[in-house]
Amino acid sequence: MKTPIRVIVADDHVLFRQGLRSLLRLHPELEVVAEVHQASELCSTLAALSCDVLLLDLQMDRWMLSDIESLAKLTRVVVLTASERTEDGLAALRLGARGVVQKRFAVETLTEAVRAVANGLVWMPPALQAQLASQWTVAPEPQLTAREGEIVRCVAQGLRNAEVAKQLAITEATVKTHLNNVFQKLGLRDRVELTRYAFRVGLVSVRDQNT
């Protein structure tokens, strides 16, 4: 029997938290191992219990954006937010979150996001992807080599450098060298912008993210 995906739910609204638990329990491959209702309890809970995915309400008893970087070092983080602001989702991803789920779409998308993130991918709802893509203006694209294109596609699917190296049978140092060249060639700052680029030019698609 396959080991279930262990999930911790962090949300200070008891009814929403109970709703998430009930939703996740409909899927036997997902297991809620703890619920947290205060931000101050998060680190101690993560230290005491191993989990694959943390579902983190961005608006708990305080604004949680500044905590994501430290939490992402302990587990994979999926941000839950009532905000419709693209900037909030982007900020969470830059700080290390692996997924963003808008609360009003949680029933339809939450389990899909948890599975994707547990499998090492980055998950964003199609609406957010469309908003990100629309921010780009059309301009001539620098040409990437075949190897650079492979690495960009892997990064856009959420793989870390070591995972990219293993998948492509190259060294991690080679991956870093190619990524530095790509960032300079495309004028991009980080992996989030690189993911946006990959979607825009068709190196990766929503289906790639969700399979």
108 and 16 both lie in a single domain: yes
- Residue 32: per-residue pLDDT: 93
Crossing angle (nearest 10°) for helices 172-186 and 146-156: 100
pLDDT at 141: 62
Instruction: Please name the residue that has the structure tokens 């199609």.
Output: 126
**Are residue 119 and residue 153 in the same domain, yes or no?**
no
| Domain contains 151 | yes
* 113-163: pLDDT as tens digits: 999 999 988 898 776 677 666 655 445 567 889 999 999 999 999 899 999
pLDDT for residue 134: 64
Please report whether residue 101 resides in a domain: yes
CA nearest neighbour of 97 among 70, 132, 67, 68: 68
One domain for residues 203 and 100: no
CATH number, residue 47: 3.40.50.2300
Other Cβ atoms within 10 Å of 108 Cβ, number: 10
Structural domain span for residue 30: 5-124
pLDDT of the chain, 211 residues: tens digit per residue: 578 999 999 999 999 888 989 999 999 999 999 999 999 999 899 989 889 999 999 998 899 998 999 999 899 999 998 887 778 888 888 889 999 998 888 888 899 999 999 998 889 877 667 766 665 544 556 788 999 999 999 999 989 999 999 999 999 999 999 999 999 998 898 998 999 888 888 887 655 554 4
Claim: this prediction has a pTM higher than 0.75? no
Same-domain pairing of 95 and 177: no
Residues 91 and 168 in one domain: no
| CATH number for 200 | 1.10.10.10
How far apart CA 62 and CA 120 sit, in angstroms, is: 28
Our count of domains for the chain comes to 2
**99 and 161 in one domain?**
no
How far from the centroid of its chain's Cα atoms is residue 73's Cα?
13
**Co-location of 154 and 191 in the same domain:** yes
pLDDT of residue 129: 72
